[in-house]
C-alpha cells in the first residue's frame, strides 16, 4: 500500500477529552548509555560508573518522563562547569582522557523540582611506557671496594592504574629469584612508576631489559612494552655548543645554532628550546642539533638551549644568548643648577643635558656630542660623562659649568654602536634664553567635560615651555584609587597634550590627570592638572521586550521599570500603541517605574505597546506585544500503548495533549492538525472542532489511523481562537511496534528501553524492572534471580521483580502487553442461540509463550491473565505457577481464544522474603495453536469459557509433577 493511500484516510480518528487525569507531572530522568561500554557498574542505583576507551564515541541518553515534556540540559562537573547542547542525547566523538568525569542530566518542566541524574564516565587509556636509567656511584673508605648501583625506572600514564612486569632477555625478573635485584614503587608516584634496582652491578646484569605495562586488557587495551639495552658503555648524555656565546647579529641576518653530542650511550637525541616554555620563532627550522632562524628581528633575541636526552640520567643542557644589535628609545632631559632653588636656566649657573638610549649589545654603545654641528670634547667647563651600561640603560651627560652667553646653541647627542651596521640616533637639544621649564594648564571650560556614550571626546592639557615635554596621562577612580586607561594601560604618552577617546562608554567616567614627564623636557618637579569626564547614557529599562497574552474584555496593567540613567533627573516617559500616543508624564525624584492600565481589552487594543523613558542622552524603551494568541499545545509523551496495529500494512497512533494556559486567552474553538510523512514535503491538514471550554490539565485525545508502516510522520497541532491561530507544536511519530508485517507473530526480548510497548499497570503495588545480569546488583540477594538472560548472555536484558525492601509479602507487579486486535476468520454466528464453542470457533486461536526464571527460597507466584476490551474490560486467568523452580530458565506456552481486542497481563507476586526474584524473557504471541509444548506446559484442559475447570486442571498437573519428582 502506497503512502498516499495511507494519507487519504489519515484523519478518521476521533477527539475525546479526559478530565481529572492529573496528567501534569514533575519530571523523572534516567541516564542510559547507548554506545558500547567496556564496563558498567551500579551500586544500589546511586553510583553509576560508565567506562569507555579513549578515542571512542561517548553517547549518553537522558530518558525523561513528565508532562509537559521536560527540557533537558547536560552539564559536567569540572573547573569550567562545562555545559553541552540542550537535547536528550549527549554525544562526544573521539573522547579524550580529560573529558572523563561526572556528567549530569537535568530535566525540568516547571512542575515540581527538576529531576537530576548523574553518571561518572571513566576514560580508559594506556600510554607507551618510557624507561629511564639512573646510576649511583659510591666508594668505600679503604678504596678496596667499588660499588655501582643502577636504577631502571619505567613510567606509563594509564587509567585504571598500570601494572608493570620486568623481563631480562626472555625471563621475568622477580625479587625472590635474584638477590641482586629489588623491585619497588616509590610512595610519591602513586603507583605509576616501577623501579628495577640492580645492586652492585654484575656481568649478568648487562642485558636487554623489557618493561611491560598492562591494565589487564580492560576495555580491550593491549599491553605495551619498552626496551633498554644496558651495557658497560651505558652513560648519560653530554653536549658541546658549536656557537659563540653570546651570538651577536644584525637584524635581517640568518643565524644558525649548532650543538653536538659529546658523549652518551645510547646516542642522545638533540633539540632546541627557549626558556620558560616560550616557542621557537615560527619561521625557524630545527634538524637535530641545528637550529636556523632566517631574517632575525629584535623579538628573536634571547636565550636558546640545546637539550640532549637518551633516557640515561638527567638530560644535558647548554644555553647560548642571541643578541640582535640595535638602538631604540632615545630620550633627553635638561637639569637646571641643582644648587639653586630655581627651575630656570640662568647665565653663570650650571646646566646638565642628559641623553639616554637603549642598546643591544650595551657594551657596544658609544656617544658623541656636537655643538652647532661641530664635535665637542670634554673640558673643564664642558664635562662629558657616561653611566655604566651594565647598571642601567646607556646614559651620557653634558655638564655646562658657569653658563655663558656664548654657550647658547644646539647641542646634539649622537648614539651609535661601535661596530657599525646599525643607523645612529641623533637627539638635538636647544639651549638659549628662550629655554624655559614647562607650565601646564587646562583650557578654559575644559576641566569638566560632559559627553554621551558612543561619542569621541578629546581631553586637552596645554603645555608651555621650551623644549615641550612629553605629557603622561593617567586615570583615577572615585576615592583617588588608580584605574586603567581606556586602552587597558596604566599610562598613555602624548606629544601634543591631547588624549582622544573614541566610542566612549559609561565605564570611562572619572578623573583624568595629565602631567609633564622629565623626558624631552626639564628634569624638574612634574607639573600636573586634572580633567573630570562625565559620560551620560540613556536610561536602562526593563523589560526590554515582553509578550502579554490576554482575552478580550479583560483588564491588565503594563509596567516599565527604570534601572539606571545619567543624568537620572527630569526623566520623561511616553506610552504609545503603535504610532498612537496614549499618555506622557515625568518620573518623580524617587520614582523608578511607570504604569499603563487597560480596563477592558477590545480588538483595537491588540498590538505593540511601547514606553520610552528619556533623558538628555537618549531614551530607553520597554516593548510589550499584546496578543490573543493561544499558547502552544503540550504533547503527552508518556501515553502507554499509544501505538497500535490497525491492519497488516498500516498502524494507528493515539495522539494526546494538554493545552498550556487555556484560560489566559479566549476559548479555543478548534485545532488545526497537520501531518506529513517524513522525507516528503506535502502537508495534509484538518480542523478538529472543540466543544466547550478546555480545562487546565485536561487531556485531549485524537486517534490517527491508516499510518503506513514503517514510515514516520511529523505532526503539527495549532490552536485556534477568535483572535486567530496560536502557537503550534510539532512532534514526530515513529513506527516501532515489534510486530511482523503479516501480524501473525509478536516477539519481545526487552532489549530496548521501549519494552516493545509493554507498560506498567498503574494500579499495582510496584513495577517490573528491566535489567541485564551484567548490570544487576546481586550483592544483597545473591541466591536469587537469573545469572544471564534466556539466551545465556550476561549483556542481554529481561524483566524481573525486585523483592527487596520495601516490598511486602503479597505485593503485586503487573506488566501489560500492547493491545492486539483479533483477526476474525469468519463472521460471528447470526443465531442468538449459538453455543459457546461455536463462538470460540469463529475467532482465531493464539499461542502465548514466554520464558520464566523462578529461583529462590522465597519465590511467590507468577500469573498470566487475558484482558479483553469489549463493552467492559474483563480479565481471565490463563496460567499460574508458584514456588522455587530452580536456577534455570523454563518455557511456558498456553493457547488463548480472545473474542475482541486484548492484552496479556503478566503478574508477579512477592513471596515471604527477599530471595524471591521472578524474571521473564522472550515473550511471543503467535497465531495458531501452540506447537511442541514444553514438558511442564500448563495448557488449558477445558474451554477457555470455563476458568474454574482450567484452574482445577492446573492444580492436578502440578500435583502430578510433584509426584514424579
User: If pLDDT is split at 50, 70 and 90, which confidence band does 839 have?
Assistant: very low
Task: Please check whether residues 446 and 571 belong to one and the same domain.
Answer: no
Residue 604: its pLDDT value, please?
A: 95
Give a yes or no: residue 61 inside a domain.
Answer: yes
| Distance from C-alpha of 431 to C-alpha of 436, rounded to nearest angstrom | 9
* End-of-domain residue from the set 536, 558, 573: 536
> pLDDT tens across 56-113, in order?
999 999 989 899 999 999 999 754 556 666 688 999 999 999 999 999 999 999 999 9
More confident of the two residues 942 and 50? 50
User: If pLDDT is split at 50, 70 and 90, which confidence band does 122 have?
Assistant: very high
User: If pLDDT is split at 50, 70 and 90, which confidence band does 36 have?
Assistant: low
> pLDDT tens across 567-584, in order?
998 899 999 999 999 999
More confident of the two residues 590 and 774? 590
Asked if the model's pLDDT at residue 775 lies above 70, the reply is no
User: If pLDDT is split at 50, 70 and 90, which confidence band does 962 have?
Assistant: very low
Domain span holding position 503: 437-536
Cis, peptide link before residue 160, omega less than 30° from 0: yes
Task: Please check whether residues 317 and 332 belong to one and the same domain.
Answer: no
Give a yes or no: residue 452 inside a domain.
Answer: yes
More confident of the two residues 735 and 422? 422
Task: Please check whether residues 119 and 197 belong to one and the same domain.
Answer: no
Average pLDDT of the chain to the nearest whole number: 85
Asked if the model's pLDDT at residue 669 lies above 80, the reply is yes
Residue 737: its pLDDT value, please?
A: 52
User: If pLDDT is split at 50, 70 and 90, which confidence band does 44 have?
Assistant: very low
Give a yes or no: residue 955 inside a domain.
Answer: no
Task: Please check whether residues 599 and 671 belong to one and the same domain.
Answer: no
Give a yes or no: residue 662 inside a domain.
Answer: yes
Task: Please check whether residues 798 and 913 belong to one and the same domain.
Answer: yes
Residue 242: its pLDDT value, please?
A: 94
Give a yes or no: residue 933 inside a domain.
Answer: no
Of 55, 100, 111, residue with least CA distance to 77: 100
Give a yes or no: residue 833 inside a domain.
Answer: no
Residue 646: its pLDDT value, please?
A: 60
Lowest-confidence range among 136-140, 739-743, 844-848? 739-743
Task: Please check whether residues 767 and 908 belong to one and the same domain.
Answer: yes
Residue 143: its pLDDT value, please?
A: 36
Q: 485556534: which residue's cell? A: 720
| Distance from C-alpha of 519 to C-alpha of 499, rounded to nearest angstrom | 18
Asked if the model's pLDDT at residue 490 lies above 50, the reply is yes
Residue 193: its pLDDT value, please?
A: 72
Task: Please check whether residues 35 and 106 belong to one and the same domain.
Answer: yes
Task: Please check whether residues 557 and 452 belong to one and the same domain.
Answer: no
* Secondary structure element (H or E) that encloses residue 196, with its range: strand 193-198
Residue 175: its pLDDT value, please?
A: 77
Lowest-confidence range among 6-15, 243-252, 606-615, 626-635? 6-15
Q: Report the domain count for the chain.
A: 8
Residue 4: its pLDDT value, please?
A: 36
Task: Please check whether residues 759 and 905 belong to one and the same domain.
Answer: yes
* End-of-domain residue from the set 60, 94, 125: 125
Q: What is the DSSP annotation of 246-294?
A: SEEE-TT--EEEEEEEEEEESPPEEEEE-GGGPPPPTT-EEETTEEEE-
Lowest-confidence range among 228-242, 453-467, 835-849? 835-849
String of b and e for 841-851 (b: at least 16 CB within 10 Å)? ebbbbbbbbbb
* End-of-domain residue from the set 487, 514, 536: 536
Asked if the model's pLDDT at residue 837 lies above 80, the reply is no
> pLDDT tens across 293-341, in order?
999 999 999 999 999 999 999 999 999 999 999 999 899 999 999 888 8
Task: Please check whether residues 623 and 641 belong to one and the same domain.
Answer: no
Residue 88: its pLDDT value, please?
A: 87
Residue 47: its pLDDT value, please?
A: 64
| Distance from C-alpha of 356 to C-alpha of 566, rounded to nearest angstrom | 47
Asked if the model's pLDDT at residue 825 lies above 50, the reply is no
Mean pLDDT of 268-281: 93
Q: What percent of the chain has pLDDT over 90?
A: 63
CATH number of residue 217's parent domain: 2.60.40.10
> pLDDT tens across 535-552, in order?
999 999 999 999 999 999
Give a yes or no: residue 943 inside a domain.
Answer: no
Backbone angles phi, psi at 798, to 5 degrees: -155, 175
Residue 828: its pLDDT value, please?
A: 29
pTM: 0.65
For residue 406, the SS3 value is helix
Task: Please check whether residues 280 and 303 belong to one and the same domain.
Answer: yes
Give a yes or no: residue 14 inside a domain.
Answer: no
For residue 812, the SS3 value is strand
Task: Please check whether residues 893 and 763 belong to one and the same domain.
Answer: yes
Amino acid at each position: 500500500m502506497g503512502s498516499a493511500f495511507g494519507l487519504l484516510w489519515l484523519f478518521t480518528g476521533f477527539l475525546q477529552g479526559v478530565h481529572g487525569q492529573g496528567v501534569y507531572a514533575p519530571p523523572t530522568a534516567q541516564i542510559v548509555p547507548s554506545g558500547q561500554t567496556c564496563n558498567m557498574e551500579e551500586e544500589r542505583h546511586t553510583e553509576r560508573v560508565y567506562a569507555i576507551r579513549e578515542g571512542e564515541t561517548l553517547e549518553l541518553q537522558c530518558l525523561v518522563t513528565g508532562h509537559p515534556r521536560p527540557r533537558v540540559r547536560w552539564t559536567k562537573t569540572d573547573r569550567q562547569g562545562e555545559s553541552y547542547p540542550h537535547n536528550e542525547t549527549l554525544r562526544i566523538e573521539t573522547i579524550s582522557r580529560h573529558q572523563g568525569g561526572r556528567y549530569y542530566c537535568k530535566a525540568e518542566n516547571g512542575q515540581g523540582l527538576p529531576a537530576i541524574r548523574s553518571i561518572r564516565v571513566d576514560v580508559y587509556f594506556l600510554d607507551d611506557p618510557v624507561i629511564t636509567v639512573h646510576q649511583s656511584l659510591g666508594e668505600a673508605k679503604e678504596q678496596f671496594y667499588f660499588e655501582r648501583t643502577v636504577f631502571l625506572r619505567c613510567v606509563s600514564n594509564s587509567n585504571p592504574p598500570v601494572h608493570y612486569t620486568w623481563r631480562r632477555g626472555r625471563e621475568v625478573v622477580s625479587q625472590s629469584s635474584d638477590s641482586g635485584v629489588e623491585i619497588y614503587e616509590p610512595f610519591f608516584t602513586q603507583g605509576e612508576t616501577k623501579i628495577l634496582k640492580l645492586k652492585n652491578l654484575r656481568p649478568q646484569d648487562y642485558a636487554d631489559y623489557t618493561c611491560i605495562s598492562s591494565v589487564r586488557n580492560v576495555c580491550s587495551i593491549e599491553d605495551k612494552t619498552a626496551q633498554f639495552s644496558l651495557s658497560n658503555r651505558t652513560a648519560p648524555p653530554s653536549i658541546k655548543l658549536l656557537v659563540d656565546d653570546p651570538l651577536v647579529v644584525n637584524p635581517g641576518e640568518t643565524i644558525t645554532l649548532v650543538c653536538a653530542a659529546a658523549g652518551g650511550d645510547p646516542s642522545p637525541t638533540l633539540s632546541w628550546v627557549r626558556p620558560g616554555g616560550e616557542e621557537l620563532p615560527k619561521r625557524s627550522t630545527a634538524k637535530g642539533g641545528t637550529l636556523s632562524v632566517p631574517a632575525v628581528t629584535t623579538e628573536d633575541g634571547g636565550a636558546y638551549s640545546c637539550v640532549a636526552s637518551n633516557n640515561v640520567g638527567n638530560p644535558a643542557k647548554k644555553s647560548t644568548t642571541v643578541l640582535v644589535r640595535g638602538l631604540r628609545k632615545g630620550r633627553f632631559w635638561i637639569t637646571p643648577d641643582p644648587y639653586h632653588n630655581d627651575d630656570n636656566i640662568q647665565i653663570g649657573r650650571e646646566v646638565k643635558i642628559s641623553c639616554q638610549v637603549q642598546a643591544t649589545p650595551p657594551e657596544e654603545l658609544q656617544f658623541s656630542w656636537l655643538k652647532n654641528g661641530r664635535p665637542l670634547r670634554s673640558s673643564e667647563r664642558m664635562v662629558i660623562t657616561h653611566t655604566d651600561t651594565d647598571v642601567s640603560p646607556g646614559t651620557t651627560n653634558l655638564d655646562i659649568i658657569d653658563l655663558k652667553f656664548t654657550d647658547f646653541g644646539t647641542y646634539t647627542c649622537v648614539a651609535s654602536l661601535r661596530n657599525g651596521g646599525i643607523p645612529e640616533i641623533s637627539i638635538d637639544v636647544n639651549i638659549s634664553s628662550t629655554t624655559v621649564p614647562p607650565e601646564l594648564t587646562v583650557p578654559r571650560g575644559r576641566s569638566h567635560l560632559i559627553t554621551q556614550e558612543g561619542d569621541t571626546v578629546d581631553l586637552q592639557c596645554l603645555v608651555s615651555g621650551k623644549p615641550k615635554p612629553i605629557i603622561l596621562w593617567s586615570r583615577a577612580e572615585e576615592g583617588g584609587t588608580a584605574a586603567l586607561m581606556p586602552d587597558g594601560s596604566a599610562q598613555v604618552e602624548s606629544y601634543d597634550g591631547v588624549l582622544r577617546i573614541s566610542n566612549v562608554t559609561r565605564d570611562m567616567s572619572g578623573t583624568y590627570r595629565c602631567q609633564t614627564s622629565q623626558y624631552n623636557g626639564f628634569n624638574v618637579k612634574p607639573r600636573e592638572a586634572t580633567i573630570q569626564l562625565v559620560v551620560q547614557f540613556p536610561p536602562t529599562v526593563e523589560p526590554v521586550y515582553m509578550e502579554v497574552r490576554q482575552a478580550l474584555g479583560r483588564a491588565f496593567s503594563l509596567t516599565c521599570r527604570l534601572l539606571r540613567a545619567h543624568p537620572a533627573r527630569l526623566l520623561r516617559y511616553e506610552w504609545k500603541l503603535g504610532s498612537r500616543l496614549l499618555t506622557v508624564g515625568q518620573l518623580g525624584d524617587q520614582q523608578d517605574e511607570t504604569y499603563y492600565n487597560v480596563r477592558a481589552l477590545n480588538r483595537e487594543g491588540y498590538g505593540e505597546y511601547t514606553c520610552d523613558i528619556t533623558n538628555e542622552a537618549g531614551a530607553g524603551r520597554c516593548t510589550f506585544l499584546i496578543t490573543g494568541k493561544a499558547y502552544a499545545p503540550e504533547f503527552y509523551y508518556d501515553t502507554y500503548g499509544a501505538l497500535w496495529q490497525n491492519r497488516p500494512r498500516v498502524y494507528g497512533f493515539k495522539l494526546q495533549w494538554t493545552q498550556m494556559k487555556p484560560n489566559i486567552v479566549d476559548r479555543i474553538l478548534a485545532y488545526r492538525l497537520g501531518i506529513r510523512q517524513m522525507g516528503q514535503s506535502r502537508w495534509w491538514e484538518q480542523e478538529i472542532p472543540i466543544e466547550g471550554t478546555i480545562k487546565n490539565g485536561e487531556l485531549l485525545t485524537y486517534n490517527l489511523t491508516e499510518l503506513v508502516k514503517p514510515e514516520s510522520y511529523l505532526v503539527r497541532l495549532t490552536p485556534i481562537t477568535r483572535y486567530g491561530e496560536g502557537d503550534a507544536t510539532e512532534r514526530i511519530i515513529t513506527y516501532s511496534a515489534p510486530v511482523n508485517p503479516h501480524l501473525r507473530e509478536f516477539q519481545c526480548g526487552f532489549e530496548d528501553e521501549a519494552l516493545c510497548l509493554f507498560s506498567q499497570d498503574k494500579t499495582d503495588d510496584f513495577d517490573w524492572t528491566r535489567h541485564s545480569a551484567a548490570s544487576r546488583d546481586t550483592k544483597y540477594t545473591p541466591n536469587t534471580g537469573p545469572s544471564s538472560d534466556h539466551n545465556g548472555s550476561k549483556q542481554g536484558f529481561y524483566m524481573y521483580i525486585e523483592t527487596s525492601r520495601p516490598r511486602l509479602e503479597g505485593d503485586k507487579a503487573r506488566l501489560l502487553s500492547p493491545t492486539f486486535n483479533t483477526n476474525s476468520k469468519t463472521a460471528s454466528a447470526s443465531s442468538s442461540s449459538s453455543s459457546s464453542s461455536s463462538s470460540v470457533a469463529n475467532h482465531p486461536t493464539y499461542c502465548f509463550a514466554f520464558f520464566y526464571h523462578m529461583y529462590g527460597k522465597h519465590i511467590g507466584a507468577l500469573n498470566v491473565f487475558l484482558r479483553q476490551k469489549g463493552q467492559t474490560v474483563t480479565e481471565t486467568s490463563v496460567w499460574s505457577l508458584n514456588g522455587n523452580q530452580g536456577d534455570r530458565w523454563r518455557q511456558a506456552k498456553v493457547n488463548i481464544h480472545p473474542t475482541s481486542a486484548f492484552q496479556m497481563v503478566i503478574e508477579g507476586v512477592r513471596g515471604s522474603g527477599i530471595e524471591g526474584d521472578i524474571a521473564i524473557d522472550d515473550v511471543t504471541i503467535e497465531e495458531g495453536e501452540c506447537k511442541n509444548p514444553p514438558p511442564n506446559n500448563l495448557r488449558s484442559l477445558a474451554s477457555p469459557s470455563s476458568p474454574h475447570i482450567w484452574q482445577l486442571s492446573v492444580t492436578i498437573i502440578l500435583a502430578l509433577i510433584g509426584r514424579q519428582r
